[in-house]
Amino acid sequence: MLAVEGLPVFERAAIFAAAAHCGTTRKGNQIPYLTHPVETAAIVAEMTDDQELIAAAVLHDVVEDTEVTLSELREFFGERIAFYVGGESEDKRRELPPESTWKVRKQETIDFLKSGADRGAKMLALADKLSNMRSVARDVEHIGDRLWERFHQKDKAMHGWMYRQVAEALRELQEYPAWKEYDWLVRRVFEQDS
């Protein structure tokens, strides 16, 4: 068994995330899911050297998308990392069909970014959404609007609304190249829906 106790926090978080997401893939393709949280962490690392925030970035989907609980995360990584992962995790309302809760979940995220998120949480959200927008932009180039069939929300205009609202909520980060790239990708993908 690999001993992880003595490793720095990011390395421990990456191993934990790899185990939690083991065998899962991105929507609609065979790309290992772990590529997304690793890319998210790399984007956060371009904005800050805060090791706990970078670790939270690689862990950001473990509570939302796996069986890992926030209390387990708190036990392994401490309160601050759990706080950032919790802030980035949607309440998926698993008892309801995901397509029926999509807009409510996205609005909750936007509201949090506008009023409840600190700068670290905003950096994490920007990195997550930029990673997603990179993937969306690549897939739009390859398969066009068939892309939206992969998602619970099939209406491209609704995705455009959400990504534009996030850009506005994160505008205080506009000095970072990550925000500039995100804003550019949102406009490129959704410009015809303006």
- The catalytic residues are 64-65
Distance between CA 161 and CA 94 in Å, rounded?
24
Distance between CA 14 and CA 34 in Å, rounded?
9
Distance between CA 118 and CA 96 in Å, rounded?
30
Q: Which of 13, 90, 4, 75 is nearest to 50 (CA)?
A: 13
User: Residue 29, class by beta-carbon neighbours within 10 Å (0-12 exposed, 13-18 middle, 19+ buried)?
Assistant: exposed
Q: Which amino acid is at 45?
A: A
